[in-house]
Structure 1
Amino acid sequence: MTLREEYRDKGFFSSCKVVDVHGHAGPFYGIFFPLADPSSMAEELERRHIALLMMCPHLTLFDSAVGNRAAVEIVRNHPERMRAYWGIIPEYARPEQDLREFERHPDVFVGFKMLAPYHMRTITDRRYAPFWEYANSMGLPVLAHTWGGSGQCGERQVEECARRYPNVRFILGHSLHSAWDEAVRIVRDYPNTYLDLCAVMDERGILEQFVSEGLEDRILFGTDFPWFGYPYYIGAVLDSGIGDSVCEKIFWRNACSLLAGLPANRRVEIL
């Protein structure tokens, strides 16, 4: 039975794990999510056999201190299926204090999250630098929102950070959406960079392009859950025709390779 047939028949995999490297948690203004509260999300993760969701609460977009405290509570309540990114708002950042707090919770936080355009800053802003430098020294993931043509998180800024911080496991959130050729070039040129499928699947053929360019080991499965649902996103990958062995890399093997490089006290066992 192929993965496509298994998912069609059951709505989940028994033969393949799934790790989602790009998610959120909690409600968001102006939109209704059927699965927004962490308990409902955890139930959906279990229902869909999602082994791990790496998320950042929506609260961190507006008040990073409150949001990061919420992340601790969420992960501690659902440690078997969730880990968090430490969210950064440049104006509110207190690097020494923030990094001490980050270090206090190795069972919760796997890396950092940057959503620079929401705060009208660039990912190269000096206020992000202490977090980039810390992640670089520890070999941690940084998930940064990226978008083609952006003056805050576009091709130039992404390449600058990839070059400046070669030990960061730099996840290009949304894979420089719409600047696909540049995303391919950067990930080819910088071995510390990864493509994230979140929002990529709205355009047919892009995943196939990434695979045909030889980047199948550098593609990570991300959904923005609860913004997008797993049946849609998993189905889109399965329907791309890239083959089960490549799908398995994208669904979980590549993420496991990334997580295996975390410091020992932050490593996650994928069940």
Structure 2
Amino acid sequence: MSRTGIPEMANRSRLAQEFMELGRLESLPIIDMHTHMGPFYGTYLPEAPLPRMLAEMERENIDWIVSAPHSALFDPIAGNREIVAAMADHPKKIYGYYTVNPHYSDRINEDLAEYDAIDNYVGFKLLPDYHKYPLTGDRFTPIYEFANERGLLLLSHTWGHSRYNPPGMIAELAVKYPNIRFLMGHSAPGETDYAIEVAASLPNVYLELCDTGRLNGLIAKMVREASSEKVVFGTDFPWYDPHYMLGSVLFSGIDDREISNIVHDNAAALVGGVLQRKAKRG
């Protein structure tokens, strides 16, 4: 019996035990690679205002996040102004994805010029299912060429059996643009086995846990078949409390080295690499 009164588990990791005793990970700061911020039409998200997100990050020992605000996902006029302001105000806590709407392709050159001018951008966010435009469509080509030249991250919503963003399209793009690090948002529910296969076979493709990682046994399968180095922690915060997904990782049966890779180390290496390359470009 632990001092919390909770029975010990023979296969519990040290990190899981720490979380059970303290209510958060003290020894391992968390990095969340899939977040949003701000209000979303038609629903109420209590933690969506940025001050409340930051307070929750402090409570849960989330070191920093990479975010694409809800405003950028759907409002081409507001565009990415909200994330630019958030990064300027909290440069050590918030990094950003530049969100691209392919139906406003006349803005692409302006978008790319703006990207280079803003500190803390680390890549692009695409929502093909929402925008009803395929990942492999020609309107995205300037984005891919730009990101490939700079070795940026690209987080795309992926979904199984979709016309717009199935795992096979990620695989096609990853071969064509080997310097982009592709993060498969949600790891393609409905075709997650295929997504795991793609991540295992291509060095620049990563699985992202948001929503899909809650399924019993799936994180262990990702680690077993693609390795813990190919899985990144993401939550869709503020849609989900990050501790919800953290529990899925801590009690998945993987070891502490693998947990550390997923919760912190892989993201730190990916984002750190982008920032180093950006610094060299001046």
1:193-232 to structure 2, matched below 5 A, reads 193-232=205-244
- Write the distance in 2 (CA, Å) between the matches of 1:168 and 1:237: 26
Compare 209-218 and 18-27 and name the one that shifted more: 209-218
1:77-226 equivalences in 2 (<5 Å): 77-93=89-105, 94-105=107-118, 107-226=119-238
Task: Give 2:238's aligned amino acid.
Answer: P
Q: Percent identity?
A: 38
What is the aligned counterpart of 1:260 among 252, 258, 272?
A: 272
Q: Please give the TM-score of this superposition, normalised by the length of structure 2.
A: 0.90
Q: Are 2:231 and 2:262, in contact at CA under 8 Å, matched by a contact in 1?
A: yes
8 Å CA contact 1:64, 1:87 repeated in 2: no
Deviations 1:158-205 (A, max 9, x none): 221111111101111111222122112211221011110111123211
Measure how far apart 1:64 and its partner are. 3.5
Amino acid across the alignment from 1:24 = H
Conserved in 1, the CA contact under 8 Å of 2:214 and 2:245?
A: no
The amino acid that maps onto 1:34 is: P
| Equivalent-residue separation in structure 2 for 1:111 and 1:214 (angstroms) | 23
The alpha carbon displacement at 1:155 in A equals 2.5
Moved more, 154-163 or 1-10: 1-10
The alignment yields a C-alpha RMSD, in angstroms, of: 1.5
Report matched runs for 1:58-69 at 5 Å: 58-69=70-81
- Contact 1:42–1:78 at 8 Å: present in 2 too? no
Letter in 1 for 2:66: M
Higher Cα Rg, which structure: 2
Q: 2:4 — aligned with what?
A: none
Find runs of 4+ consecutive structure 1 residues off by over 4 angstroms.
none
The secondary structure found in structure 2 opposite 1:34 is coil
Q: Quick check: 2:150–2:277 contact (8 Å CA) kept in 1? A: no
Superimposed CA distance per residue, residues 48-102 of structure 1 (whole angstroms, 9 cap, x where no aligned partner): 1101110100011212341301111111122221111000100123121111111
Gaps of 5+ in 1: none
Post-superposition Cα deviations, 1:231-260, rounded to whole Å, max 9, x if no partner, equal: 211111111111211101100111112123
How many residue pairs were aligned? 266
